[in-house]
Amino acid sequence: MKILSIETSCDDTSVALIEGNGDNVTLLKEAHASQIDVHKIYGGIVPEVAARKHTEVMSLLLAEVFEKQNPPDAIAVTAGPGLLTSLLVGVETAKTLSSLTNIPLIRTNHMEGHIYANWIEQEHDIQFPALALIVSGGHTELVLMSSHTTYKKIGETVDDAAGEAFDKVGKFIGLTYPGGPKISKHAEQGNPDTIKLPRPMIDSDNLNFSFSGLKTAAKLYIEKNPDLNIADFSASLEQAIVDVLVSKTLRAIAEHNPKTVVLGGGVAANKKLRATLTEKIDPLPETTFIAPHIPYCMDNAAMIGSAAYFKAQKDGYTDWKDITADPVWELPK
């Protein structure tokens, strides 16, 4: 089955053509436009600018991917969560295409896309129940899946997301947006034991996260130590975030006994997080760990097509007349 997918939830415009076969997804074509150079001038995403930029490039990207002579079996689009004005560009494009071609539509959640990045172009043996750790710019969640596309959120952040903590602290030390990958790069040269930063909620008796206190502690440290060693500071911050994420994931494994743990979201590209999860989960006799290939961690349309392929197996289509964008569409609890 071939699916044309569209992702515009934040600042990346992405269109892909994927093919699903059995339990695997292959990427056939992809066209992508990043807006980072525009938004980094402002230190974060400006919604109005993001929507305008999506609109400018959408038809060009579609023309690269859509094959008129060989149309896809379905069209998938991210309908939420995300910035409303950004989402609307993708949703209205998908509706227009579907109404003109009669190709059925699959309304896809951005977070299920991050989860289904794990099925793209990789040898895997993902089995259910599965546990997903999603760590991105706007979300930090633990989601239990009893079968394909069946979700139960069992943990989430009570304030900032992990990616947001990386980005905001990055801004405090003068790094351009997004700070996450830059902090991670500096951390490779640093000693994570140099600066003692808090691990909020690490011992709390639940699966929730909090990163706001860590962000404030990091800010105070920067103010008191203007000549800090950026590598040691970055390594210490990264270690604090990774410690909390790994500790809560291990707690969730102990409580729910998943057969597979999958990782997703932009922060899933972090090498220390991937290595620590591998190191802790590999020795467990009944649980395996898998992470998406790095290009599928960041926002991309292939992951939306991947999730849509598995939704299609369960008849998860929506009539184009009924599709709306939902900026706060969360996975069920």
Binding site for ligand ATP (CB under 6 A): 9-10, 82, 110, 136-139, 163, 166-167, 178-181, 184, 265-267, 269-270, 298-299
Print burial letters for 250-287: b (CB count within 10 Å at least 16), e (below 16). Answer: bbbbeebebebbbbbbbbbbbebbbebbeebbeeeeeb
- The 85-124 contact track toward Mg ion, x by CB under 5 A, reads ----------------------------------------
CB of 239 to ligand ATP, least distance (A): 12
If the CB atoms of residues 106 and 267 are measured against ligand ATP, the closer one turns out to be 267
Given 132, 242, 299, 307, the residue binding Mg ion (CB under 5 A) = 299
CB of 202 to ligand ATP, least distance (A): 19
Type of residue at 190: G
> By the 8 A CB rule, do 253 and 285 touch?
no
Distance (Å, whole) CA 38 – CA 35: 6
If the CB atoms of residues 80 and 200 are measured against ligand ATP, the closer one turns out to be 80
Distance (Å, whole) CA 10 – CA 151: 23
If the CB atoms of residues 178 and 192 are measured against ligand ATP, the closer one turns out to be 178
CB of 185 to Mg ion, least distance (A): 20
Given Mg ion, ligand ATP, none, residue 267, with its beta carbon under 5 to 8 Å by kind, binds ligand ATP
Binding segment for Mg ion among 211-219, 285-293, 295-303, 314-322 (CB under 5 A)? Answer: 295-303
* Binding residues for Mg ion, total number by CB under 5 A: 2
User: Scanning the structure block, which residue is given the tokens 């743990």?
Assistant: 261
Q: Residue 90 phi/psi, 5° resolution? A: -65, -45
CB of 70 to ligand ATP, least distance (A): 31
Given 136, 140, 157, 300, the residue binding Mg ion (CB under 5 A) = 136
If the CB atoms of residues 180 and 200 are measured against ligand ATP, the closer one turns out to be 180
Torsion, Cα of 162, 156, 125, 292 (10° steps)? -20
Binding segment for Mg ion among 135-143, 144-152, 214-222, 287-295 (CB under 5 A)? Answer: 135-143
Nearest to 249 by CA among 143, 165, 161: 143
Stated as kind and residue range, the H or E segment containing 281 is helix 271-281
Count CB atoms within 10 A of the CB of residue 318: 17
When asked if residue 11 is in the footprint of Mg ion (CB under 5 A), the reply is: no
Q: How far is CA 246 from CA 125, 281, 327, in A?
A: 22, 10, 28
Torsion, Cα of 121, 162, 178, 222 (10° steps)? -150
Given Mg ion, ligand ATP, none, residue 7, with its beta carbon under 5 to 8 Å by kind, binds none
CB of 138 to Mg ion, least distance (A): 7
CB of 109 to Mg ion, least distance (A): 11
If the CB atoms of residues 8 and 149 are measured against Mg ion, the closer one turns out to be 8
Given ligand ATP, Mg ion, none, residue 200, with its beta carbon under 5 to 8 Å by kind, binds none
> By the 8 A CB rule, do 130 and 259 touch?
yes
Binding segment for Mg ion among 159-167, 187-195, 240-248, 292-300 (CB under 5 A)? Answer: 292-300
Binding segment for Mg ion among 118-126, 131-139, 227-235, 270-278 (CB under 5 A)? Answer: 131-139
Torsion, Cα of 246, 250, 252, 254 (10° steps)? 180
Q: What secondary structure letter does DSSP report for 330?
A: P
User: Scanning the structure block, which residue is given the tokens 């997903």?
Assistant: 132
CB of 266 to Mg ion, least distance (A): 6
Q: What residue ranges bind Mg ion (CB under 5 A)?
A: 136, 299
